[in-house]
Amino acid sequence: MNTKVLVAPSPHVHSGDSIQKNMYGVVFAMLPALLFSFFYFGLGALVVTLTAVASCYLFEFLIQKYILKTEVTINDGSALITGILLAFNVPSNLPIWIIMIGALVAIGIGKMTFGGLGNNVFNPALVGRVFLLISFPVQMTSWPVSIGLTSGYIDVETGATPLAIIKEGLKSGTPLSELTSQIPSNMDMFLGNMGGSMGEIAGAALVLGLIYMLIRKIITWHIPVAVIGSVAILTGILHMVDPEAYAGPVFHILTGGLLLGAIFMATDYVTSPMSNKGMIIYGVGIGVLTVVIRVFGAYPEGVSFAILIMNAFVPLINVYVKPKRFGEKRK
């Protein structure tokens, strides 16, 4: 019995969970939405996704290897997620060079300047997306019409998103009841048959991803439910007050990036709160801000801004919102 043994403090076993398992789990959950985007936008979707993912990997590698001179950790799966999310957040006819700028901003400024994975304050993909939206407003808001697999890349027919149709229509004084004929039916919107960013259109696919992540315990229900719930309640109240001036909750949930944001971007581990209570506060904040921007702001869509604004509050939430301690009196 001369075997050398390890002596270390407990626990002596581990669950076997790893960063990779969680990250690739998220990627797997995004696959349905990715397939839907290929199905609706054809070649363009493929080119945009590949460019975004490859650029994110490349920039992360270059920055870690040559600028920060640290260990290269591109295999942890986080760059892949940022790449896919960036692609999900842009139109499928966006030129390659613009996507590459987006990836550089997302990885370079959004993630690596803060110290890499785990330290960034803002969701990297959204930093890239908002940078592009402000810098290239025309290219970023010309949405290809989804015509299916045969769809090309740059040279495609474009149209407005349902959110933009409603926003412009209401601004010009048209009552809502007259505008509904111009937008797709709820079922079409749920299945993704409408204009929009690549990954945001197919609500059904996104919900499928959510279910998978909940079952695998990659995320908890708190953030998605808080975001979607608060949007539903707030728009529901507005719609009841004046049905001709404010669209209803179903419309707001199915359009734009709400489901994509609530399921895949607000739930980003690094940039969301640690405690369940904190997650709910954060989620409600995103929901409220989204509605405020959509209904009262200048942009038709506000999910990206809402998430980024609430990202900034996360450190504060973590300091002031503590989990319920065992033995503490319940209020």
Q: Which is nearer to another protein, 171 or 331 (CB)?
A: 331
Burial grade of 216 (CB within 10 A; 0-12, 13-18, 19 or more)? middle
Q: How far apart are CB 76 and another protein at their closest, in Å?
A: 7
Q: Which is nearer to another protein, 106 or 293 (CB)?
A: 106
The tokens describing 210, both together, are: 């959510």
Q: Which is nearer to another protein, 112 or 198 (CB)?
A: 112
Burial grade of 25 (CB within 10 A; 0-12, 13-18, 19 or more)? middle
159 beta partners: 143
Q: How far apart are CB 123 and another protein at their closest, in Å?
A: 12
* Cα–Cα separations (whole angstroms), residue 5 to 1, 42, 204: 10, 58, 53
Q: How far apart are CB 1 and another protein at their closest, in Å?
A: 5
* Cα–Cα separations (whole angstroms), residue 201 to 65, 88, 187, 296: 37, 9, 12, 23
Q: How far apart are CB 305 and another protein at their closest, in Å?
A: 22
Q: How far apart are CB 31 and another protein at their closest, in Å?
A: 21
Which residue in 65, 61, 111 sits closest to 86, CA to CA? 111
Q: Which is nearer to another protein, 67 or 154 (CB)?
A: 67
Q: Which is nearer to another protein, 250 or 274 (CB)?
A: 274
DSSP state of 323: P
Which residue in 181, 148, 271, 198 sits closest to 47, CA to CA? 198
Q: Which is nearer to another protein, 13 or 215 (CB)?
A: 13
Q: Which residues bind another protein (CB under 8 A)?
A: 1, 3, 5-15, 17-19, 21-22, 73, 76, 78, 116-119, 220, 269-276, 279, 318, 322-328
String of b and e for 141-153 (b: at least 16 CB within 10 Å)? bebbebeeeebbb
DSSP result, 134-162: HH-HHHHT-EEP---TT--SSS--EE--H
The answer to whether the CB of 42 falls within 8 A of the CB of 151 is yes
Beta-strand relationship, 158-159 and 143-144 = antiparallel
Q: Which is nearer to another protein, 237 or 322 (CB)?
A: 322
Q: How far apart are CB 163 and another protein at their closest, in Å?
A: 31
Q: Which is nearer to another protein, 156 or 270 (CB)?
A: 270
Q: How far apart are CB 119 and another protein at their closest, in Å?
A: 7
Q: How far apart are CB 129 and another protein at their closest, in Å?
A: 21
Q: Which is nearer to another protein, 1 or 215 (CB)?
A: 1
Residues in the chain: 331
Angle at which helix 78-88 crosses helix 96-104, to 10 degrees, equals 130
d(CA 83, CA 230): 28
Q: How far apart are CB 250 and another protein at their closest, in Å?
A: 31
The answer to whether the CB of 307 falls within 8 A of the CB of 266 is yes
